[in-house]
Amino acid sequence: MNIYEVIEKRRSVRTYKEDPVPEESLKKILEAGRLAPSAHNAQDYKFIVVKDAEKIKELAKSASGQRFFTKAPVIIVAVSLKPEYLLSSGVPAYALDLGIAFDHMTLAAAEEGLGTCWIGTFSQEDIKRILNIPDQYKAVVLLPIGFPDDAPAPKSRKKIEELISYENFSE
**Distance between CA atoms of residues 102 and 122, nearest Å:** 17
**Distance between CA atoms of residues 147 and 20, nearest Å:** 8
Q: Which amino acid is at 62?
A: S
pLDDT for position 1: 75
**Distance between CA atoms of residues 34 and 45, nearest Å:** 10
The burial of 97, by beta-carbon neighbours within 10 Å (0-12 exposed, 13-18 middle, 19 or more buried), is given as buried
Q: Cα 27 to chain center, whole Å?
A: 15
pLDDT for position 147: 97
pTM over 0.85: yes
CB 106 within 8 A of CB 52: no
Work out the angle between the directed axes of helices 53-62 and 124-131 (0-180°, nearest 10). Answer: 160
pLDDT for position 18: 87
The angle at the Cα of 77, spanning 75 to 79, to the nearest 5 degrees, equals 170
Helix H or strand E encompassing 79: strand 74-80
Written as tens digits, the pLDDT of the chain (171 aa) is: 799 999 999 999 999 998 999 999 999 999 999 999 999 999 999 999 999 999 999 999 999 988 898 999 999 999 999 999 999 999 999 999 999 999 999 999 999 999 999 999 999 999 999 999 999 999 999 999 999 998 877 788 899 999 999 999 998
pLDDT for position 159: 93
Q: What class does CATH assign to 8-147? A: alpha beta
pLDDT for position 127: 98
